[in-house]
Structure 1
Amino acid sequence: MIFMVIMIILVIVLLSFSFKVVPQNYVGLVETLGKYSKSVNAGLTFIIPVFQNIRKVSLALQPYKISKYSIITKDNAEITTSLTLNYQVTDAYRYFYNNTNSVESMVQLIRGHMRDIIGRMELNEALGSTSKINNELFKAIGDLTDIYGITVIRVNVDELLPSPEIQKAMDKQLTADREKTAAIAKAEGEARHIELTTKAKNDALVATAKANAEAVKTQADAEAYRINKLQESLNKAGDGYFRNQSLDSFNKLAEGPNNLVILDKEDMTDLGKIPAVKKMWNADKK
């Protein structure tokens, strides 16, 4: 009776170890006496206790961070980089049996290609080409990780940092460039100010000259108009007007202290046109 009870307990224990549950998104690797025998999908699986064992491998997307490490650029500058990536196990057999540490092997592969890519770039190019490096790195590793049963879904360069010495030199250069830019901007501003001031003065001088010229022209036009009108009036005036003007002139001349007038013969003859002077001329002849 006791033997039967012991046998029942052993059977129950063996049955409890005979059924294994493979979780969702996992694959089970069944080993018989330490040797791979088959793969099983998620769900309830029966194995032979003691003789068989099951290893569970996740097929879910896995994030991984590659810690900082140094790389030398084409122009012998040292930079430190770190990466993050997402990978997925696509072949559980290769992942588990073909390599003692498939993830570490994948990381070493990525680091090697990263060194090769950045090693062909100069410092400034590398620092400004993060997206380009990401694309080249993803293409470079391609299907190479298949040997480890892994597929890299995404890889991203988190940072590219120059060494402290280079950073100091770059900061100094940046400061110098900013000061140079500020000096150039200030000089250009002053030159522009002088240019505008000079233009304003020249415009004022031109405007003044134009105004003066316009005033002179207006004055000349007025004078010409006055002379034309006067000439028209004189042309319309009769001989009596000119005789009266001559008499007035001689009267004013006679009233002055200097009443001696010298005239040529023709002018003397013209004086005869004035009646009063003609009488004086005839009386003198008698």
Structure 2
Amino acid sequence: MMLKIILGLIVVLVIVYICCGFRIVPQNNEGLIETLGKYSKTVKAGFIFVWPLFQRIRKVPLALQPLEISKYSIITKDNAEITTSLTLNYLVTDSYRYFYNNTDSVESMVQLIRGHLRDIIGRMDLNSALGSTKEINDQLFTATGDLTDIYGIKVVRVNVDELLPSPEIQRAMDKQLTADREKTAAIAKAEGEARTIEMTTKAKNDALVATAKANAEAVKTQADADAYRVQKMEEALSHAGEGYFRNQSLDSFNQLAQGPNNLVVVDKDDMTNLGKIPAVKKVWDESGK
């Protein structure tokens, strides 16, 4: 009876022992089997069996994982201090290397990326670094792509999220930016005033030229009119007879006789010419009308 009980206990213990050896490796994971502390084999996702107490399984995730690298300081080529932070995505490509070749493969990868980022930015001056985020990302991805393979890791994407100058440099940059804006505004104002003066001067010159042209045209028109009147007067006098001038002479003497100064001494041959004076005036007045 006692023997049966002992055998029954042994069977139960064996069943419990075997049941404790069944394991499940989730999807997107690999299992590393260790026998008595030594790597034995790699198993894929699924239902597996290990010998309890003699074997153990270590699960390694293979899915893409994000990682944020906190802010840290970097010195640029011109000795300016900037603070940077970046994010990346990586996945495990070799679970054996990932787990056994390094005590902390992720931390080693982070240190490697930080070192390359310091080297890249350290060869740039401040202005170049602040304006070349895309170029920095490309260089960093190229530099770390193959080196992380020794850790069984592949970096899929790396991105520098921010590059911030130190507060002292930021204040100096703000002052410089303000000075540049004020300088630009002053130049624009001066150019505007110069343009206004130029346009005003041009307008005044154009007005003076227009006035001078108008005056010249008026003088020319007046001269043409006077020349025309003289021509008409000469034509009218050339057709006037001697009798007309004699009558004009008598009228002239009559007018002189009626005035306070009525003494005129002329040669008898010039008396007829005296009559031409009012005749000329009359013709001139009529041509002016």
C-alpha change, 1:224 and 1:4, in structure 2 (3 Å) is farther
1:196-223 deviation digits (Å, cap 9, x = unpaired): 3333333333333333333333333333
1:176-235 deviation digits (Å, cap 9, x = unpaired): 222222222232233233233333333333333333333333333333333333333334
Once residues 139 and 148 of structure 1 are traced to their aligned partners in structure 2, the CA distance between those partners, rounded to angstroms, is: 17
| Equivalent position amino acid for 2:263 in 1 | N
SS in 2 for 1:45: strand
Deviates more, 1:14-23 or 1:77-86: 14-23
Identity level (%): 74
In the alignment, which residue of structure 2 is the partner of 1:119? 122
In the alignment, which residue of structure 2 is the partner of 1:159? 162
CA RMSD in angstroms comes to 2.5
In the alignment, which residue of structure 2 is the partner of 1:279? none
- TM-score normalised per structure 2: 0.83
Deviates more, 1:229-238 or 1:117-126: 229-238
In the alignment, which residue of structure 2 is the partner of 1:260? 264
| Equivalent position amino acid for 1:259 in 2 | L
- Are residues 1:23 and 2:22 paired? no
CA deviation after TM superposition for structure 1 residue 73, in Å? 0.9
Any stretches of 5+ residues in structure 1 without a counterpart? 275-286
1:152-184 deviation digits (Å, cap 9, x = unpaired): 111111111112222222222222222222222
CA deviation after TM superposition for structure 1 residue 87, in Å? 0.8
| Superposed counterparts of 1:136-215, under 5 Å | 136-215=139-218
Deviates more, 1:64-73 or 1:226-235: 226-235
CA deviation after TM superposition for structure 1 residue 129, in Å? 1.2
In the alignment, which residue of structure 1 is the partner of 2:94? 91
- Are residues 1:132 and 2:135 paired? yes
SS in 2 for 1:121: coil
| Superposed counterparts of 1:43-122, under 5 Å | 43-122=46-125
| Equivalent position amino acid for 1:210 in 2 | K
CA deviation after TM superposition for structure 1 residue 243, in Å? 4.0
CA deviation after TM superposition for structure 1 residue 97, in Å? 0.8
| Equivalent position amino acid for 1:78 in 2 | E
